[in-house]
Amino acid sequence: MRISDVLSHEPRVKPHRRTLPLRVGTRGSPLALAQTRAFQAQLSRFCPVLDAMNVFEEHIITTTGDRVQDKRLAEIGGKGLFSKEIHEALADGRIDFAVHSLKDLETELPPGIVLACTLKREDARDVLILGDGLDRPDPLDPYASLPAGAIIGSASVRRQAQLLHARPDLTVRMIRGNVQTRLNRVKAGEFDGSLLAFAGLRRLGLAHEAAVVIAPEIMVPAAGQGIVGVTVRADDVELCELLSAIEDPDARAVSLAERGLLAALDGSCRTPIGGYARICNGELHLTGLVAREDGSFLLRAESRGNPRDAEALGRSLGDELRGQSPADIFLD
């Protein structure tokens, strides 16, 4: 059976030989699986026959980022820590498409692999989670209630830099592992608190674990945070077309802007970089941030423009931030 037979009687693209099921590549973490299932549900709503025929087959792929649990992402280095093995599976034809957290997907994909669709954004903001017995934070001043010298778990140089810039007295210690593991380690008292993406908590049904949601003006989120992206082989016209039907145009515009900014600034994950765009009354508003890991330097800039120029807007804001930063920020 060819999928094009299922989709329409007169396929708009020339059918090539594809056998069902459709093999969906994903990481194996509870969050990755929740995202993959939400994506399948969305595709099935658009095309119920896919659902009725039970066409999806999950393929769990372990990535370097999953295997190495004792280092900061910035220390492991290299691009595509959570995606390289998935791209390889796609390129080899072991899977048909793959579901990613866009935040973890490098800006420059390997040749032959494309981002076929970006799904509607979940909440892009970061949250603070706190151990028992700490005062509930004020959303307008979310770090104020943290006791002097408190120890916050994070593996993200972006979160560390922004937190230390506001509260140089705090200590940021490395914490890795999936969302549930991090929550448990804070509950066990190993850390006073931790910073996480609200999107991940929400997708896991754990939104109540957030002590406070941090406004993007206080903590600029990571480029792509809260957005799920789906990659396919570039020559798979049929799947590209199917996936474009569930594309969220706003998510595409903001991700182009945020990823354009990231590409212009660095492209690696060693420099603390934030990028957050939203569409307000048809206009794209973009905030970019560059900082030094210890918070001793922090620069934020904003720009606005037409969502159609999203990527160029991102690149020029990135260039601007780079031009205004001390040289050491971008040394490897």
Ligand X SMILES: NCc1[nH]cc(CCC(=O)O)c1CC(=O)O
- Residues near ligand X (CB under 6 A): 101, 103-104, 196-197, 199-200, 225-226
Q: Which C-beta is closer to ligand X: that of 158 or that of 233?
A: 158
Residues known to be catalytic: 104
Q: Which C-beta is closer to ligand X: that of 197 or that of 251?
A: 197
Contact of 283 with 212, CB cutoff 8 Å: no
Q: Which C-beta is closer to ligand X: that of 27 or that of 233?
A: 27
Identify the CA nearest to 223 among candidates 108, 132, 116, 314: 314
Q: CB 101 → ligand X: shortest distance, Å?
A: 4
Q: CB 201 → ligand X: shortest distance, Å?
A: 8
Q: CB 203 → ligand X: shortest distance, Å?
A: 7
Q: Which C-beta is closer to ligand X: that of 179 or that of 313?
A: 179
Q: CB 109 → ligand X: shortest distance, Å?
A: 17
Identify the CA nearest to 162 among candidates 69, 255, 271: 271
